């Protein structure tokens, strides 16, 4: 259980982040449901948490904005007195072949996916150091482990997350703070629902288990990494991908 733990989940208005928020709340955590543009969806997630007897609130913040991320973490630390769990889940794609990829699309993806995680970790680390405890869980991707044609920006950001995760783990391990990454394979969310059928079929062929994963598969792994049972695990990348990256 995660009773009374204070958790921040970035990009929790839908998809994987929503499922992580619902799962942590069901285990007793107070969940800060972060979103960027989808206010009403984030409020719906909070309502769902509350209707199930849990606690949480929705807070808007573009995590790629260094100052705004600072304000988000300061607000949570002040209001709740501590932050036990940070899940860096917010992410976007702007897929294209390298030759056609614009500088803008490269910067946007790295800025949200990688710098966003850095911003949140940076601004919560002082509070976690003060507490001498904390769980940082970053959502990477098998694309960051294996690479993927048409996703140079996304793969670079997700591989960067792995380096960030391990560096933070080494810096903070002696202070009771763990830092791990979860690398999902193909998961059924809005991000993958927009893919053409041909791409989905090719992807399915590459998965040893021959089907996409569910958001619950990722949320359960995140909940485990946030739990007391995972207290001796740090600096790891757990692929939840039906065997894709092995
Ligand atoms: P999704 O359905 O597109 O949801 C993305 C979430 O990120 C939304 O809640 C969105 O909020 C939020 N977000 C985007 N930009 C943000 C920003 N600048 N600041 C704060 N929040 C922001 O995506 P998903 O499929 O659930 O993916 C979640 C994470 O898992 C991502 O990091 C993704 O790269 C990773 N992942 C997904 C898959 C997959 O197959 N789906 C596979 C591997 C890894 P708003 O709607 O408010 O903008």
Confirm or reject: Cβ of 192 under 6 Å from ligand 1: yes
Across 212-238, average pLDDT:
98
Q: What is the DSSP string of the chain?
A: --TT-EEEESS-SSHHHHHHHHHHHHTT-EEEEEESS-HHHHHHHHHHHHHTT-EEEEEE--TT-HHHHHHHHHHHHHHHS---EEEE-------B-GGG--HHHHHHHHIIIIIHHHHHHHHHHHHHHHHT-EEEEEE--HHHHH--TTBHHHHHHHHHHHHHHHHHHHHHGGGTEEEEEEEE-SB-SHHHHTS-HHHHHHHHHHSTT-S-B-HHHHHHHHHHHHSGGGTT--S-EEEESTTTT-
- The predicted pLDDT at position 127 comes to 98
131 pLDDT tier (thresholds 50, 70, 90):
very high
The pTM of the full predicted model, rounded to 2 decimals, is 0.98
37 pLDDT tier (thresholds 50, 70, 90):
very high
Confirm or reject: Cβ of 131 under 6 Å from ligand 1: no
Q: Which residues are catalytic?
A: 154
Gap from CA of 234 to ligand 1 centroid (Å):
24
Mean pLDDT of the chain: 98
Across 171-196, average pLDDT:
96
């Amino acid at each position: 259980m995660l009773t009374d733990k204070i958790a921040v989940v970035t990009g929790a208005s839908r998809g994987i982040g929503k499922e992580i928020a619902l799962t942590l709340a069901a285990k007793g955590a107070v969940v800060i449901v972060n979103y960027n543009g989808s206010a009403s969806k984030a409020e719906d997630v909070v309502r769902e948490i509350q209707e199930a007897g849990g606690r949480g609130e929705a807070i808007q913040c573009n995590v790629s904005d260094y100052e705004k991320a600072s304000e988000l973490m300061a607000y949570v630390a002040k209001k709740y007195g501590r932050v036990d769990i940070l899940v860096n889940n917010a992410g976007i794609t702007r897929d294209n072949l390298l030759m056609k990829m614009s500088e803008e699309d490269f910067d946007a993806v790295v800025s949200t996916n990688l710098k966003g995680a850095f911003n949140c970790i940076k601004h919560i680390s002082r509070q976690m150091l003060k507490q001498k405890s904390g769980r940082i869980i970053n959502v990477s991707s098998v694309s960051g482990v294996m690479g993927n044609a048409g996703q140079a920006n996304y793969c670079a950001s997700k591989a960067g997350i792995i380096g960030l995760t391990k560096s933070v783990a080494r810096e903070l391990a002696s202070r009771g703070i763990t830092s791990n990454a979860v690398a999902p394979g193909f998961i059924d969310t809005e991000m993958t629902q927009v893919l053409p059928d041909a791409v989905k079929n090719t992807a399915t062929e590459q998965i040893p288990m021959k089907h996409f994963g569910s958001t619950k598969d990722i949320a359960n792994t995140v909940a485990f990494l946030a739990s007391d049972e995972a207290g001796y695990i740090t600096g790891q990348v757990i692929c939840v991908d039906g065997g894709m990256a092995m």
